[in-house]
């Protein structure tokens, strides 16, 4: 199983555990919208980049805002990009602390 398919399977399982999927009557509980799949995969990429030792700025402009030019100095410190990347990284860390990574190990 490739890394992406393993992550997709784990993402769907995690969403089902959280009750984020639609009801079983309309579709299977592990199916996610395309947006939610991309979002959860992006959050995992943020965690991977942080684990690899990348700075928040590197993470922001490689994963969250790949089409933007990196900001430097005071422009970075006060930027909305910095705050947004920090919020996403916090969400990814909370997701990890609530057992998401254990699904990857079982997958």
Q: What is the pTM of this model?
A: 0.66
CA distance 78 to 6: 37
Q: What mean pLDDT is predicted for residues 36-47? A: 90
Q: How far apart are CA 36 and CA 14, in angstroms?
A: 12
**Crossing angle for the helix pair 34-51 and 80-97, to the nearest 10 degrees:** 90
Q: pLDDT tens, 46-94?
A: 999 999 999 999 999 999 999 999 999 999 999 999 999 999 999 999 9
- Measured between alpha carbons, how far is 38 from 52 in angstroms, rounded to an integer? 21
**Domain boundary assignment for the chain:** 3-106
More confident residue, 73 or 100: 73
Please answer whether residues 89 and 50 qualify as being in contact, where contact means their C-beta atoms are separated by less than 8 angstroms. Answer: yes
Query: Cα–Cα distance between 38 and 47 in angstroms, integer?
Result: 14
Higher pLDDT, 14 or 80: 80
């Amino acid at each position: 199983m490739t890394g992406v398919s393993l992550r997709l399977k784990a993402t769907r399982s995690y969403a089902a555990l959280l009750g984020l999927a639609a009801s079983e009557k309309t579709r299977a509980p592990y199916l996610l919208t395309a947006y939610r799949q991309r979002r959860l995969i992006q959050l995992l990429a943020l965690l991977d980049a942080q684990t690899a030792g990348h700075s928040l700025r590197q993470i922001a402009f490689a994963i969250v805002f790949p089409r933007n030019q990196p900001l430097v100095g005071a422009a970075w410190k006060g930027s909305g990009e910095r705050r947004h990347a920090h919020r996403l990284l916090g969400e990814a860390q909370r997701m990890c602390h609530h057992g998401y990574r254990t699904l990857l190990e079982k997958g």
